[in-house]
A and B are shown apart, each in its own frame.
Chain A
Amino acid sequence: MGSNVNIFKNNMKYTIKYRQKLLWEKYLRRKKRIKYNKRKKNISKRDPFNKGKELLKDYIEIPSQLSFKNNWDSTVKTLSDIQKAIKYRFTKIKRHIHIDHSKMEIISPASVLVLASTIERSQKQARIQFKGVNEFLPKNDVVRYLLNEIDYWKYFDVPKLKTSITQDRFSFFKILDSYEVDNTKIGKMIEFFEKKVGFNGNAKSLLFTALCEASANTVEHGYNSFQFNKDTDRWWLTANIDKKDCTISFVFYDQGMGIFKSLENHRSIPVRKLFLKAQRLIKDKPNAKILQHMLRENYSRHKIKNRGYGMQTFKKFIDGAEDGLLFIASENASYEYPKDILREYTKKLNGTLIVWQIKVSYDITSNMYLKNGEKNDSI
């Protein structure tokens, strides 16, 4: 009798153990499934190319018109596609992507700089080498010339392309870039253009101050200082004279967090509060209006310590030239001075773009000088 009880007890023990084992396995399977689903969901969130048909996308076509003023959405979308494709495909999926330049017909100097800097930064981040393919090179002469001038093809290991355009029309300066405020580079570039255009003393000095303040703003606020990388967290600057349209443009670009994100994450709580309050209270185009106010007045927490005047020096050069155009674009907003044009877009630009453009006049003796007149679009 006693032995029967013991057998029964042992059986029960095994049954319970067996059931416990089954339950434990079921629990583990469930846990694994939840983990797998969560991971799958996160991957598709992180990588937009993993969503539906986008998975097959390995070809990016640069649109016929790359211009921030006339074709913002598709310009910004193309740039962001290139960044995402390079970042995700080469670091995670390791597949080839093709950037097709063949449809390009119009490209503004500002877009040339942003495109080149986007390629450069993405290339450095992903540590890859591009290769040029003939069928994807641009067919338009002006586009070929502008990209040649800025040394764009070095990123694709392609020699300069043949073009029928000579230096008669454009005088294009190479890209300057740095991770710090490098006033010697900026000063030498201004002196290079001074010989060609003939700035008066005051305009030269105002331009120098504006460019230096722009680079100082980028270095101080543009990038995340905790994860700063000298190779990729930089500013880019270029300038060009278009002799046909009689304009000189200086284009400054950084791929940082943008003005609004920087204000949102500002160290000073009053600045953050002021920014969020302004964004909440201004109903129509809040970000563009914030840009407009920042150019007009000093809203910095440093007001009393002589700080926060950077943005205002940008417009002083335009005011000094009497006839000019200042275009500031950051994230999803842009502001044009002195026309006072505010714009907000659906697509967000990565970083901040600033363009100073003034009208110059060209005479037969090939001397250019500052002059009032109509402005064209180089943005």
Chain B
Amino acid sequence: MIQYNFVKQFTKYPGPRFIRLGKHSGEEFRENVLRPIFKSEDIIDIDATGVLSFSPSFLDEAFSPLAEEYGLDTFKEKIKFHSQDDKVLYKKMMSYVSRYLERDK
């Protein structure tokens, strides 16, 4: 399992949705950090303690397309996401993911 400290390894101030809009975007996190995990056998444990706040756009863009691409079960197995500052962060992220997956239904 890969331990990932979000503040140290990515940023304390998560950015916008797309790379073209600014630094530390959800798209950048998905492509550079999460996608390689899905291509390997690894599991990632993301500790987001200390992050100022995640915008809905960041959470949606970082996680939802992968859940759609690899399936919700694989997604849940591969990603652990928590923060000591925000106990409901995982729930929040999953709510965006499920709303995104309902798109095609």
Contacts of A205 in B (CB 8 A): 52-53, 86
Query: Does A2 sit within 8 A of B, measured CB to CB?
Result: no
Chain B residues numbered 8-29 whose CB sits less than 8 Å from any CB in chain A: 11-17, 21-25
Is the beta-carbon distance between B16 and A204 smaller than 8 angstroms?
no
Is the beta-carbon distance between A212 and B85 smaller than 8 angstroms?
no
Which listed residue, B12, B16, B86, touches A212 by the CB 8 Å rule?
B16
Query: Does B103 sit within 8 A of A, measured CB to CB?
Result: yes
Contacts of B102 in A (CB 8 A): 304
Is the beta-carbon distance between A209 and B11 smaller than 8 angstroms?
no
Indicate with 1 or 0, residue by residue over A183-197, a CB within 8 angstroms of chain B CB atoms.
110111011000000
Return B87 CB to nearest CB of chain A, in Å. 11
Using CB atoms, name the residue of chain A closest to B105. A304
Is the beta-carbon distance between B52 and A181 smaller than 8 angstroms?
no
> Interface centre among A181, A184, A191, A220, by most B CB within 10 Å?
A181
Contacts of A322 in B (CB 8 A): none
Is the beta-carbon distance between A305 and B100 smaller than 8 angstroms?
yes
Given contacts A216-B16, A305-B103, contact A208 B21 (CB under 8 A): no
Is the beta-carbon distance between B57 and A216 smaller than 8 angstroms?
yes
Contacts of A201 in B (CB 8 A): 85
Is the beta-carbon distance between A306 and B56 smaller than 8 angstroms?
yes
Q: Is the interface of B mostly helix, strand, loop or mixed?
A: loop
Indicate with 1 or 0, residue by residue over A219-254, a CB within 8 angstroms of chain B CB atoms.
110000000000000000000000000000000000
Which listed residue, B21, B54, B60, touches A219 by the CB 8 Å rule?
B21
**Interface footprint category on B:** 20 to 34
What separation, in Å, do the CA atoms of A180 and B17 have in the docked complex?
Answer: 12
Given contacts A190-B52, A216-B21, contact A183 B103 (CB under 8 A): no
Which listed residue, B22, B53, B96, touches A181 by the CB 8 Å rule?
B22
Return B48 CB to nearest CB of chain A, in Å. 12
Query: Does A313 sit within 8 A of B, measured CB to CB?
Result: yes
Return A365 CB to nearest CB of chain B, in Å. 26
What separation, in Å, do the CA atoms of A187 and B17 have in the docked complex?
Answer: 16
Return A215 CB to nearest CB of chain B, in Å. 8
Query: Does B55 sit within 8 A of A, measured CB to CB?
Result: yes
What separation, in Å, do the CA atoms of A304 and B60 have in the docked complex?
Answer: 12
The chain B residues found within 8 Å of chain A, CB to CB, are 11-17, 21-25, 52-57, 60, 64, 85-86, 96, 99-100, 102-103
The chain A residues found within 8 Å of chain B, CB to CB, are 180-184, 186-188, 190-191, 201, 204-206, 208-209, 212-213, 215-216, 219-220, 304-307, 309-310, 313
